[in-house]
């Protein structure tokens, strides 16, 4: 494959990448929050939000591993975490940036 070309990401890879981004956000922000804060995680990937909130079972070993990392990340978390779906492809700069991060994470 020539330089600059990328492989398309499969749907399940996208969900994994979005879940990994959620885990990263939870882990990185833990030290910045206190018990009076409500931490809101927004994603345009409903399946990842469902997994993060415990409303969707995971079946693959890879997804189970990420779900376990999520459980470990929220252990003794200093505040409530709320998950919120946001519309994708809405030209929202933060959502577009988050999509870019998830895409690159999925590619390794």
Could you tell me what percentage of the chain is helix, strand and coil, using 3-state DSSP and rounding each to the nearest 5?
55, 10, 35
Strands (DSSP E) along the chain, which ranges?
Answer: 38-43, 80-85
Write out the two tokens for 12: 């399940």
pLDDT of residue 21: 87
Mean pLDDT across 29-54: 91
pLDDT of 9 over the 90 cut: no
Q: Which residues contact 98 (CB under 8 A, 6 or more apart)?
A: 21, 43
Q: What are phi and psi of 83, to 5 degrees?
A: -105, 135
User: Does residue 40 or residue 4 have the better pLDDT?
Assistant: 40
Give the CATH class of 11-26+34-107.
alpha beta
**Partners of 81 in the β-ladder:** 39
DSSP 31: G
Mean pLDDT across 67-71: 92
């Amino acid at each position: 494959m020539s330089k600059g070309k990328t492989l398309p990401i499969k749907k399940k890879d996208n969900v994994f990448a979005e879940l990994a981004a959620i885990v990263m956000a939870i882990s990185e922000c833990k030290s910045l929050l206190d018990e009076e804060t409500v931490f809101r995680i927004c994603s345009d990937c409903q399946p990842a939000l469902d997994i993060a909130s415990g409303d969707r079972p995971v079946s693959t070993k890879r997804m189970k591993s990420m779900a376990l990392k999520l459980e470990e990340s929220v252990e003794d978390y200093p505040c409530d975490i709320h998950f919120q779906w946001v519309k994708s492809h809405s030209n929202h700069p933060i959502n577009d940036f988050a999509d870019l991060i998830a895409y690159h994470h999925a590619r390794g």
